[in-house]
C-alpha cells in the first residue's frame, strides 16, 4: 500500500480480520503447540485461513506472529528462527490478499511472563526480544506494527518503542480489558483504565490506540471503550472484541456469540467513531463477512444521508437567494 494506514482511516473506517489461534486449532494445531512455527512448516494452512478472511472482506490482516518473540519461541525450541518465522508471517498475509490492496499488520503479542521485580525477566531482555521481532516484521514489509493484548503500561511502552525504533510506518498499541465483577467498568489485569492507556500511547507516539480480547469485552463494551478513548485522544481507534464468552464443550474451548449476534454491534461501534473494526478470540471468517455487510450498509446509508443533507442545504440556500431577489 502506498498511503499510510493512519491516513486512510481518518477518511473511512476499515475492516480487520478475526481470530487466528482458534482457526489454527480447527486446522489441526494441537493446543499448546507453536502456531507461529506453522509459518514455516505449514504455510499453506496459515494462508488458507488468512485468504478466507481476505475473501470475507478484510482490509487489514494480522500476521501469524502473536507469539513470535524470542522469549515466546524459546519455549517451543524455536528461538533461533525469530527472523524466519516473522518474515514468513508477513509474506503469507500479503499473499492472502491475492494481489488486491490491503494492509498487513505485523502482530506482536505479550512476551508471556512478568518483568522484575514481580517476575524473572529484566526490562532489557523484553526490550531486546521486542526489538528483534519488530525489526524482522518491518524489514519484511509490514504496513504497521500492532503491539496487542497488553495489560501493563511498562510492557506496552517497550513494545511501542521497539516498533518505532525499527522504523514502523504505523504503530498501534492495543490493551486487553476485563469487565469488573460488579459490571460497572473495565480495566486491564494490571489495573489500567482506557483513559490512562490512551494518554500513555499518545505520549509514546503511537499512531492508533486499540483494544482487543479481555473478559466480558463484547461489542457493547468495545463501543464504550472507543468512546472513552476518544474523550482523551484525537488518535484513530481500532477495536477487536471477542466473539462472546469462552465455554468448555466436550473438552474444547468454544465461544458463544454467532455472527448474527455479534454483527448487531457493528453500527453502534461505527457511530462511536471506530476507525478499524475486527474481532478477536472465537471469531471466524463468517463473523468478518457479516461485519463487511453491516459496515458497507452503514457507509452507504451515511453517504445517502450526507447527500440528502447537502441537497437540503443547497435548496434552502436557493430559496433564500430567490427571496432576496424578490
Tell me the chain's radius of gyration from C-alpha atoms.
21
The pTM for the full model equals 0.91
Write the CA distances from 227 to 159, 238, 268, 270, 326, integer angstroms.
24, 12, 11, 11, 49
User: Considering its fold, how many domains does the chain have in total?
Assistant: 1
Residues in contact with 135: Cβ distance below 8 Å, sequence separation at least 6, in sequence order: 166
Which pLDDT does position 248 carry in this prediction?
Answer: 67
Distance, CA of 120 to CA of 96 (rounded, Å): 38
- Domain at 116, CATH number: 3.20.20.330
Mean pLDDT by 10 residues, the chain (326 residues): 90 97 94 96 98 98 98 97 98 97 98 91 97 98 98 98 98 98 96 98 98 94 98 98 79 81 97 98 96 96 61 43 45
Which pLDDT does position 310 carry in this prediction?
Answer: 38
Range of the domain at 51: 5-325
Write the CA distances from 262 to 25, 98, 218, integer angstroms.
22, 27, 8
Distance, CA of 278 to CA of 268 (rounded, Å): 14
Cell of 284: 471466524
For 262-277, the DSSP string reads HGGGHHHHHHHT-SEE
Residue 117 preceded by cis peptide, ω within 30 = yes
Which pLDDT does position 302 carry in this prediction?
Answer: 81
Amino acid at each position: 500500500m502506498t498511503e499510510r494506514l493512519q491516513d486512510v482511516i481518518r477518511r473511512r473506517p476499515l475492516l480487520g480480520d478475526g481470530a487466528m489461534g482458534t482457526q489454527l486449532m480447527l486446522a489441526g494445531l494441537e493446543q499448546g503447540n507453536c502456531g507461529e512455527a506453522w509459518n514455516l512448516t505449514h504455510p499453506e494452512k496459515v494462508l488458507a485461513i488468512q485468504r478466507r478472511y481476505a475473501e470475507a472482506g478484510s482490509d487489514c490482516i494480522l500476521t501469524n506472529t502473536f507469539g513470535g518473540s524470542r522469549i515466546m519461541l524459546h519455549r517451543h525450541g524455536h528461538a533461533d528462527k525469530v527472523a524466519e518465522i516473522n518474515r514468513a508471517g508477513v509474506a503469507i498475509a500479503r499473499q492472502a490478499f491475492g494481489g488486491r490492496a490491503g494492509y498487513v499488520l505485523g502482530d506482536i503479542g505479550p512476551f508471556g511472563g512478568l518483568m522484575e521485580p514481580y517476575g524473572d525477566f529484566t526490562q532489557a531482555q523484553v526490550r531486546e526480544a521486542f526489538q528483534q521481532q519488530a525489526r524482522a516484521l518491518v524489514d519484511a514489509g509490514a504496513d504497521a506494527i500492532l503491539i496487542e493484548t497488553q495489560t501493563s503500561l511498562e510492557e506496552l511502552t517497550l513494545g511501542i518503542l521497539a516498533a518505532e525504533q525499527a522504523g514502523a510506518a504505523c504503530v498501534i498499541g492495543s490493551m486487553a480489558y476485563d469487565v469488573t465483577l460488579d459490571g460497572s467498568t473495565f480495566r486491564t489485569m494490571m489495573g489500567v483504565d482506557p483513559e490512562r492507556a490512551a494518554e500513555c500511547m499518545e505520549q509514546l507516539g503511537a499512531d492508533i490506540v486499540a483494544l482487543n480480547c479481555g473478559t466480558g469485552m463484547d461489542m457493547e463494551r468495545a463501543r464504550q471503550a472507543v468512546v472513552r478513548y476518544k474523550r482523551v485522544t484525537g488518535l484513530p481507534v481500532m477495536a477487536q472484541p471477542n466473539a462472546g464468552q469462552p465455554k468448555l464443550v466436550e473438552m474444547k474451548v468454544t465461544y458463544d456469540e454467532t455472527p448474527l449476534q455479534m454483527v448487531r454491534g457493528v453500527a453502534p461501534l461505527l457511530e462511536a467513531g471506530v476507525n478499524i473494526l475486527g474481532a478477536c478470540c472465537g471469531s471466524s471468517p463468517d463473523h468478518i463477512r457479516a461485519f463487511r455487510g453491516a459496515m458497507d450498509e452503514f457507509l452507504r446509508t451515511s453517504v445517502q444521508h450526507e447527500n440528502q443533507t447537502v441537497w437540503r442545504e443547497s435548496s434552502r440556500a436557493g430559496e433564500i437567494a430567490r427571496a432576496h431577489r424578490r
